[in-house]
Amino acid sequence: MRRRRALTLMTGACAALFVAQPATSRAADAWQPRRPVEIVVPSAPGGGLDLVARTLQSVITQEKLSSKPVTVLNRPGGGGTVSVAYINSHAGNGEYVTVQALPLITNRITGLSTTGLDDVTPLAVFVTEQVVFSVPGNSPIKNGADFVQMLKKDPSSVTMGVSSSPGGQSHDAAALVIKGAGQDPKKLKIVFFDSGGEAVTALMGGHVTAAATPAGVVLGPSQAGRVRLIGIPGAQREQGALANVPTWKEQGVNVDFSTWRVLVGPKNMTPEQIAWWDNVLQKATSSPEWAVAVKRNLWTADYKNSAQTRVFLQGEQTRLKTLLGDLGLAK
């Protein structure tokens, strides 16, 4: 009787320990990648999204957070729709994910694509990032006021390079600044590039008057004197390397805008797959290497898990629909 009672107590204790484990931990342990994980980038190498993907790859590898290798694959095109189509050719497979930005939502609002939030599984918000306006280092434009004056004098003389699709983050920022300066954003000459790196290269080559790009891709050329940073559309000045860059509000243009970077998977991912990514991404974004990358690339850390990201993106869809409607960019 004593032995039977002891066995009963042991069985009950083990069951209690299992119940006490967090559900997310149990679900994460229930699924593991069976092949190399692919992080798909919807832009060319060297852009803001590429920086996020390669940083994530490096952290997961260094911290040994995946039992399988992690690779980065660049699939530019269609403002991000090509990469979403690619991961959805593996629907329900948690081994394929893509880093995305505002075009994930704005493509559908502007009519560029029928792809939208319903076609992906939200996994995480990583960071927010400033869109920086810059001109060539030898440009007669010394600051935002000079840029606005040039716009007012002859809008047709200004060509703006943006590192996004129509209605994407850099285009939105540029349109807001132009509208804030009293001009019609639909009449400005806009050149769209597949990445921030390409836009900055065109700027340094004198092919565009100014560019609106993620902060991380323009800092190096700025420090080398090849480009001049003239404004950011954020509510207040940044710290660190962007501390000397005035906001557009300081220069008389009432704009408040920043962009974000998210990770999404294909539609129909299982709860176990989502839980695995929640576990991996929480650890990755808490690592010292990630913190160093956040500072180096001028990001603002803003990690949200899968459930929080789903709510966040639904809210952004409502906000961006109104914004693009006001800018005359919604279809």
pLDDT at residue number 164: 79
Model confidence pLDDT, tens digit, residues 206-263: 999 999 998 888 989 999 999 999 999 988 898 888 999 999 999 999 999 988 999 9
Q: Under a CB-based contact definition with an 8 Å cutoff, are residues 70 and 33 in contact?
A: no
Model confidence pLDDT, tens digit, residues 264-310: 999 999 999 999 999 999 999 999 999 999 998 889 899 999 999 99
Q: Which residues make beta-bridge pairs with 124?
A: 263
13 — phi, psi (to 5°)? -65, -40
Q: Regarding the domain delimited by 35-129+259-326, which CATH topology (the fold level of the hierarchy) does it fall under? A: D-Maltodextrin-Binding Protein; domain 2 (3.40.190)
User: Residue 262 is encoded by which pair of tokens?
Assistant: 């998210």
Name the range with the highest mean pLDDT among 78-82, 216-220, 254-258, 312-316: 312-316
Angle 215-223/196-204 helices, nearest 10 degrees?
A: 30
Residue 188, Ramachandran bin (φ over 0: left; ψ between -120 and 50: alpha; else beta): beta
Q: Look at residue 112 and tell me whether its pLDDT is greater than 50.
A: yes
Nearest by Cα to 217 from 264, 141, 161: 161
CATH: 2.170.130.30, 3.40.190.10, 3.30.230.10, 3.10.310.10. Which one for 133-251?
Answer: 3.40.190.10
Summarize the confidence of residues 42-59 as an average pLDDT. Answer: 93
Between the CA atoms of 9, 14, 20 and 23, what dihedral angle is there, to the nearest 10 degrees?
A: -150
Q: Buried (b) or exposed (e) across 39-76, using 16+ Cβ within 10 A?
A: bbbbbbbbbbbbbbbbbbbbbbeebebbeeebebebbb
* Fold equal for 35-129+259-326 and 133-251: yes
Q: What percent of the chain has pLDDT over 70?
A: 91
Summary mean pLDDT of the chain:
89
Instruction: Considering only residues 126 and 298, tell me which one the structure prediction assigns the higher pLDDT.
Output: 126
148 — phi, psi (to 5°)? -65, -40
Calpha distance 169→130 (Å, rounded): 10
- Type and span of the H or E element at 99: strand 96-100
Q: Could you count the other beta carbons within 10 Å of the beta carbon of residue 158?
A: 19
pLDDT at residue number 239: 83
pLDDT at residue number 29: 60
Summarize the confidence of residues 40-57 as an average pLDDT. Answer: 93
Summarize the confidence of residues 110-122 as an average pLDDT. Answer: 93
Instruction: Considering only residues 132 and 195, tell me which one the structure prediction assigns the higher pLDDT.
Output: 132
pLDDT at residue number 14: 39
Model confidence pLDDT, tens digit, residues 10-36: 444 434 443 444 444 455 468 999 999
Q: Delimit the domains of the chain by residue range.
A: 35-129+259-326, 133-251
Q: What percent of the chain has pLDDT over 90?
A: 70
Summarize the confidence of residues 34-62 as an average pLDDT. Answer: 95
Calpha distance 221→200 (Å, rounded): 8
The pTM of the full predicted model, rounded to 2 decimals, is 0.80
pLDDT at residue number 30: 86
